[in-house]
Chain A
Amino acid sequence: MFRFKSMGSTHIPHYKNTAGKPAVIMTDAKEVLLPLSQHIGAPATPIVKVGDEVKVGQKIAEANGFVSSPIYASVSGKVSKIEDYLRPDGRTVAAIRIVSDGLMTRCEEITPPSVSDLEELIVATRDSGLVGLGGAGFPLSVKLEALKKGGIDKIIINGAECEPYITCDTHAMLYESEWIGKGIALLEKFAPDIDQFIIGIEKNKPACIKEMKHIFEGDKKVKVISLPDTYPQGGEKVLIYNTTKRIINEGKLPADVGVLVINVTSLAILAKYAELGEPLVTRCVTFDGSAVAEPKNIIAPIGCSIRELVEFGGGLKCEVGKVLYGGPMMGTAAASLDEPIVKTTGAITILDRKDSLLSEPTACIHCGRCIRSCPLDLSPVAYSKALECESQEEKIAILEKNKIMLCMECGCCSFVCPASRPLVQNNRIAKAEYREHQAAMAKLKK
C-alpha cells in the first residue's frame, strides 16, 4: 500500500539528558545474578556447580539448541548459588549467582576467534553470547543464519533509539564508531550479496548522523538515513518501512522481504568479539529518570543488581516510584531493586512517585487519536471493545478482522488516549486470548 507519510508519527518527549557524555565504567560488582535466559529462545544449560571458582569471561552456561545463547561470568569469584529467578515478564528461569572476589581476574581462555567465512562468523557470533541488544534479545547468530540462505539484499543498522531517556546506542555511535565501521566491514566481507547497508538514525541525534557519515565516507554501500524524530522509529516494522518502503505482512519476518535489522550496539560488540575474543560480559546502561540525581551512561557488568548500579551512579534524589528495564514507553517494571541488569537492559529508568502514578481511566470519547497514532493503522479502540464481548466467537472474529496480531505494543495508543484508557495493555490481553484460541483450534483440527 502506498503512503505519503513515513510510518510512526507520535510526538513524545525525548529526555535525552545523557546524550553526548562519555559513559563511566563500573569495574566491579559485589555480586552478580546471571539468569540463564536473557534472550528469546531456550534457556542456556549451566556448566558450573555451586562452589566453583570462575573468572571474567569464562563460559558458565552453554547455549541449548538452535535459538539460544551462552552465558559468561562477568566477575571473577565463586558460584554461590543456582537459584530460581522470577523475570519481570512473569517467567521463572534458573539463574547463577556469583560472589565477586574483587579481583576481576580475566579468563586465560579468551582468544580471538578465527573468522574466515560466513559460517565461522556465525559460530563466533553465537560464541560471543550476543543477543539483540536493542531490547528484544533475539540471538544475533540466528539472525545471521538468514544470510546463508540468501535472498537478503539490505541490512539495516538500527540506531533510531526512539525510547525516551535511553542513549546507549547514541553512546555506541559516538564513542565506538570505529567498531561499528569494523562490524560493517566484517559483514561486507563475509556477506558479499548485500547491496546496501542502511544506518537509520532519528534526526534528533545530529552528532551521531555526522559521526556515522564521517566513518563511512567513501563507502558506497553504506547509506546513513535521518529518520523523523517521532516515536516509534526504532520499531522493526517502522524502521524497515521508513528506510526501504517494504512492508512485512502478518506472520512474516524481515528476512521474508529481504532485509535484516541489527542493533547498532550489537554490531559494535560483534566486531569487538571478532577482533579481541571478549564475550558479552558488560554493557552500556543509561541510568536516568525523574528520580535519578545524576543521569549518566554506565558500562556495567551484566548481572549486577539495580541497587548496586544506583549506588554507583550517584543515587536517587527522591522517593522511588517505578524502576524500569528500558525506557518508559516499552520498558518493563522491575519488582525490586535487587533484580539484575541483563544483556538486553539498555537502560534503568527510575521514576519518582508522581510520574509513576496511573491516572484513572475515564469514558472513551471516540476521538480516534489511538487510531491515528497507530503506526500500523490498527484500531486499538476496537480491540478494547471486543474484549467486552460476551460471546467468545464474536470476540475472536473482531480481533481477527482487525488483525490484532500485527500489534507491536509500541504504546502510542495508550500514550495519546485523552481518557487514559489502558489500550495497549488491553491489546496484550487480546493477543494472548487470540493466541490461546488459535492453539485450541489447532488442537481440534488434529
Chain B
Amino acid sequence: MEKLIVSSSPHLHGKTTTASIMRDVLIALSPAAISAVVLFGIKALIIISVCVATSVLSEFIFNIIAKRKQTVGDLSAMVTGLLLALSLSTRVSIWHCVVGSVFAIVVVKCLFGGIGCNFANPAVTARVLLLIAFGKVAGGAATNFMSAELVASATPLAVIKDGEGLLPSLTDMLIGNRGGAIGEVCAIALILGFVYLVVRRVITWETPVVFVATVFVLSLIVKQDLTAALYQVLGGGLLLGAIFMATDYVTTPITRSGKAVFAFGCGIITVLIRFWGDYPEGVSFAILFMNILTPYIERLCRNKPIGGVKNEK
C-alpha cells in the first residue's frame, strides 16, 4: 500500500523565503554599492569586501561553536555586512571594519539568539560603536575619488553645523559628489533601491516616506528655507537609514501603523540631534533609540481585528 503524507492544511506554500527577501535587499543595495566603488575607488571595494566577508564568516564560526543550525544560507549576515560597509567612510582602516562586523554579528545578533531575535539593528549598532569609539574616522568626512578639489573636506552636514567649508550643490548631493560614508552619498542609487524594494513588496512605503518627510518638514519649520531643508534630506545618512535600516523587519514594529509611528520618532530624533546635538548626524542614533522603543510602539499599534467585539467583563 502506498504511504501517504498527512498534514494539516495549507498544503501549498508561497515562493518567498527569508533568503529570497535578503537577496532582494542585496539587489536593492547594489546600486549604492556600485556608486560607492565608482565614487570612492578601490578603498570602497575593500571596505565592502572585508565587512561582508567578516560578517558571514563570524556568523558561520559562531554557529559552529555554539552548535546552532547553520544560518548563513539566509543571506542576512551578508546584508548586515554590506549595510555596515556602506555606512562607513573611506577613512576607516581594515581592522575597524573587522571589529565592526564581528560586533554586529556576534554581539548584537547571534548572542541574542540569531536572526529574528535581536532587538537592535546589527549594522546600525556597529556603526554607532565605531562612531563613538573612533570618532570621525568612521562616520565623518571622506576623500571623494571623483572630486579632487573636495579632498578631505567635511561632510555637508558638518559644513552646515560648523559653518566652515564648502557646501556642494544640490545636484552634486543627488549624484553623490560629496563627502560622507561610501554608501550614503549617492541619493539616486538609494532611491532606486527604495523603488525596487517597494515594487518587490519587500518593504512597505510607510517607514522611509514618513521618516524622510518628518525630517523635511521639521527642517523646513526650523530653518524656514526650502534649500536648507533639502540639504537635510539629501545630506548625511538619512536616505540609507530610512530606506534600508529603519525598515529592518526584526527590530521595527510589525504593523503598518506601528511602522509609521516608528519612522516619525526616528525623524524627530534625527532633527533634534542634527540641530541641537553635539554630533552633525543623528540617523543611526535615532534608529537605535527607536529600536529600543519598538516593543512599546507595538503594544500601542496593534491591528484591530475585523468583527472583534470588546468583551464585557
Chain A interfacial positions (CB closer than 8 Å to B): 1, 3, 7, 12-13, 164, 237, 241, 247-252, 319-324, 328-337, 349, 351, 353, 355-359, 362-369, 371-372, 375-379, 381, 400, 402-403, 406, 409, 411, 414-420, 422, 424-425, 428
**Does B6 count as interface, using CB distance less than 8 angstroms?**
yes
Q: Which of A1, A362, A414 has the most CB of B within 10 A?
A: A362
Nearest Cβ in chain B — how far from A189, in angstroms? Answer: 33
B12 touches A365 (CB 8 A): no
B contact residues, total (Cβ < 8 Å): 41
Residues on B with beta carbons closer than 8 Å to the beta carbon of A368: 249, 254-256
**Does B16 count as interface, using CB distance less than 8 angstroms?**
yes
Residues on B with beta carbons closer than 8 Å to the beta carbon of A418: 14, 16-18, 20-21
One of B83-91, B95-103, B144-152, B299-307 contacting the partner: B299-307
- How many residue pairs between the two chains, A and B, have CB atoms under 8 Å in the bound complex? 163
Q: A323-B4, A331-B9, A334-B4 are in contact. Are A366 and B306 (CB under 8 A)?
A: no
A378 touches B305 (CB 8 A): yes
Q: Which one, A364, A375, A428, contacts B116 given CB within 8 A? A: A364
Residues on A with beta carbons closer than 8 Å to the beta carbon of B1: 336
B18 touches A424 (CB 8 A): no
Q: Which one, A322, A364, A367, contacts B11 given CB within 8 A? A: A322
- Chain B contact residues, majority secondary structure: loop
Q: List 16 A-B contacts (CB under 8 A).
A: A247-B307, A250-B308, A321-B5, A322-B11, A329-B9, A329-B10, A331-B9, A334-B6, A365-B18, A365-B76, A367-B249, A372-B256, A376-B306, A403-B305, A415-B10, A418-B20
Nearest Cβ in chain A — how far from B18, in angstroms? Answer: 5
**Does B67 count as interface, using CB distance less than 8 angstroms?**
no
Residues on A with beta carbons closer than 8 Å to the beta carbon of B6: 322, 333-335
Q: A364-B116, A366-B249, A376-B305 are in contact. Are A335 and B4 (CB under 8 A)?
A: yes
**Does B278 count as interface, using CB distance less than 8 angstroms?**
no
Q: A322-B6, A365-B250, A371-B255 are in contact. Are A333 and B11 (CB under 8 A)?
A: yes
Nearest Cβ in chain B — how far from A333, in angstroms? Answer: 4
Q: Which one, B117, B304, B307, contacts A249 given CB within 8 A? A: B307
B254 touches A366 (CB 8 A): yes
A363 touches B13 (CB 8 A): no
A376 touches B307 (CB 8 A): yes
Residues on A with beta carbons closer than 8 Å to the beta carbon of B14: 12, 415-418
Nearest Cβ in chain B — how far from A8, in angstroms? Answer: 11
C-alpha spacing A362/B115, complex, angstroms: 9
Residues on A with beta carbons closer than 8 Å to the beta carbon of B71: 362-363
C-alpha spacing A418/B23, complex, angstroms: 13
C-alpha spacing A241/B7, complex, angstroms: 31
Residues on B with beta carbons closer than 8 Å to the beta carbon of A419: 17-18, 116
Nearest Cβ in chain A — how far from B14, in angstroms? Answer: 5
Residues on B with beta carbons closer than 8 Å to the beta carbon of A320: 2, 4
Nearest Cβ in chain B — how far from A331, in angstroms? Answer: 6
C-alpha spacing A427/B250, complex, angstroms: 22
A406 touches B305 (CB 8 A): yes
A362 touches B9 (CB 8 A): no
C-alpha spacing A135/B17, complex, angstroms: 31
- CB-CB nearest 7 A-B residue pairs: A411-B10, A363-B116, A328-B12, A328-B11, A403-B305, A403-B308, A368-B254
Chain B: CB-nearest residue to A382 = B302
Residues on B with beta carbons closer than 8 Å to the beta carbon of A411: 9-10
**Does B171 count as interface, using CB distance less than 8 angstroms?**
no
B116 touches A365 (CB 8 A): yes
Residues on B with beta carbons closer than 8 Å to the beta carbon of A328: 9-12
Q: A337-B2, A365-B18 are in contact. Are A377 and B10 (CB under 8 A)?
A: no
C-alpha spacing A390/B17, complex, angstroms: 30
B12 touches A415 (CB 8 A): yes
B5 touches A363 (CB 8 A): no
A362 touches B308 (CB 8 A): no
C-alpha spacing A368/B20, complex, angstroms: 16
C-alpha spacing A275/B249, complex, angstroms: 59
A333 touches B2 (CB 8 A): no
**Does B114 count as interface, using CB distance less than 8 angstroms?**
yes
B114 touches A363 (CB 8 A): yes
A366 touches B116 (CB 8 A): yes
Nearest Cβ in chain B — how far from A334, in angstroms? Answer: 7
Nearest Cβ in chain B — how far from A329, in angstroms? Answer: 5
Residues on B with beta carbons closer than 8 Å to the beta carbon of A425: 8
C-alpha spacing A58/B44, complex, angstroms: 83
Nearest Cβ in chain B — how far from A78, in angstroms? Answer: 26
B306 touches A247 (CB 8 A): yes
B309 touches A365 (CB 8 A): no
Q: Which one, A13, A377, A415, contacts B304 given CB within 8 A? A: A377
A250 touches B11 (CB 8 A): no
Residues on A with beta carbons closer than 8 Å to the beta carbon of B256: 368, 372
Nearest Cβ in chain A — how far from B245, in angstroms? Answer: 15
Residues on B with beta carbons closer than 8 Å to the beta carbon of A249: 307-309
Nearest Cβ in chain B — how far from A236, in angstroms? Answer: 12
Nearest Cβ in chain B — how far from A252, in angstroms? Answer: 8
C-alpha spacing A332/B4, complex, angstroms: 12
Chain A: CB-nearest residue to B16 = A418
A381 touches B254 (CB 8 A): yes
C-alpha spacing A328/B6, complex, angstroms: 12
Residues on A with beta carbons closer than 8 Å to the beta carbon of B254: 366-368, 371, 379, 381
Residues on B with beta carbons closer than 8 Å to the beta carbon of A13: 12
Chain A: CB-nearest residue to B11 = A328
